[in-house]
Chain A
Amino acid sequence: MTAYNETIVKDICRRFGNERSRMMDVVKEVQTSFGHVPNEAMDAIARALSCPRVEVQSLVSFYAFLTERPKGNIIIRLCDDVIDRMQGFDRIADAFKEELGIGIGETTTDGKITLEATPCIGMCDQAPAALINDVIVTNLTKDAAREIVAGLREHGDPQRLVKRLGDGNNAHELVRAMVVNNVRRKGDVIFGEGKPSDGLKNALAMSPVEVIRAVKTSRLRGRGGAGFPTGIKWEFTRAAKDETRYVICNADEGEPGTFKDRVILTEKADLLFEGMTIAGYAIGAQAGILYLRAEYVYLRPYLEHALAERRKSGLLGNKILGHAGFNYDIRIQMGAGAYICGEETSLISSAEGFRGDPKTRPPFPAQKGYMGHPSAVNNVETLCCVTRILERGAGWYAQMGSNGTSGTKLLSVSGDCKIPGVYEIPFGITLKEFLAMAGAEDAAAVQVGGPSGQMVGPAEFNRIICYDDLATGGAIMVFGPQRDLLWVVSRFMEFFVEESCGYCTPCRVGNVLLRRKIEEVRAGKCDPAAIAYLEDLGQTVKIASRCGLGQTSANPVLTTLKNFRPLYTARMKENEAGMQMTFDISAAVRDAEIIAGRKSANF
Chain B
Amino acid sequence: MNEKTVTFIVDGKEIKARPEQTIMKACDEAGVYIPRLCAFKDLSPFGSCRVCTVKVNGRPQAACTQPVGEGIVVESQTAEIQQIRRNIIDMLFVEGNHFCMFCEKSGNCELQAMAYRLGILAPKFPYMFPVRGVDASHPDIFIDWNRCILCARCIRTSCEIDGKNAYGFIGRGPHKRVATNSSAGLKGTDADVSDKAPANCPVGSLMYKRIGYAVPIGCRLYDKNPIGSDIEMKKTT
Contact = CB atoms under 8 A, between A and B. Distances in A.
Interface of A: 39, 42-43, 52-55, 57-58, 61-63, 338, 355, 360, 362, 497-506, 508-510, 512-513, 516, 536-537, 539-540, 543-546, 582
A502 B84 contact: no
A497 B174 CA distance: 7
Interface string B50-77: 1101000000101001010000000000
B5 to A, nearest CB: 20
Question: How big is the B interface, by class?
Answer: 35 or more
Interface in B164-180: 165, 167-176, 179-180
A54 B165 contact: yes
A504 B168 CA distance: 15
B53 A510 contact: no
B48 interface: yes
Interface of B: 45-51, 53, 60, 62, 65, 67, 83-84, 87-88, 91-92, 94-95, 125-126, 128, 149-150, 165, 167-176, 179-183
A57 B171 CA distance: 9
A220 B51 CA distance: 37
B91 A506 contact: yes
Given A52-B181, A505-B50, 7 more contacts: A42-B183, A55-B165, A501-B172, A508-B95, A508-B176, A509-B174, A540-B84
Contacts of B95: 505, 508-509
Contacts of B125: 513, 537
Given A52-B165, A544-B53, A502 B47 contact: no
Contacts of B88: 505-506, 540, 544
Given A52-B181, A537-B87, A546-B50, A355 B172 contact: yes
Contacts of A504: 47-50
A53 B83 contact: no
A500 B173 contact: yes
B50 A513 contact: no
B183 A546 contact: no
B168 A543 contact: no
Closest 9 CB pairs of A and B: A54-B168, A502-B176, A52-B165, A509-B91, A500-B173, A61-B170, A54-B181, A540-B87, A544-B50
Contacts of A55: 165, 168
B174 A360 contact: no
Contacts of A497: 173-174
A378 B128 CA distance: 39
Given A54-B167, A54-B180, A513 B172 contact: no
A47 to B, nearest CB: 13
Given A505-B50, A543-B84, A58 B128 contact: no
Contact of A544 (B60, B94, B126): B60
Contacts of A512: 128, 174
B49 A61 contact: no
A516 B170 contact: no
B126 A516 contact: yes
15 contacts: A39-B183, A43-B183, A55-B168, A57-B168, A58-B170, A360-B46, A502-B174, A504-B47, A505-B91, A505-B149, A505-B150, A508-B150, A512-B174, A540-B84, A540-B88
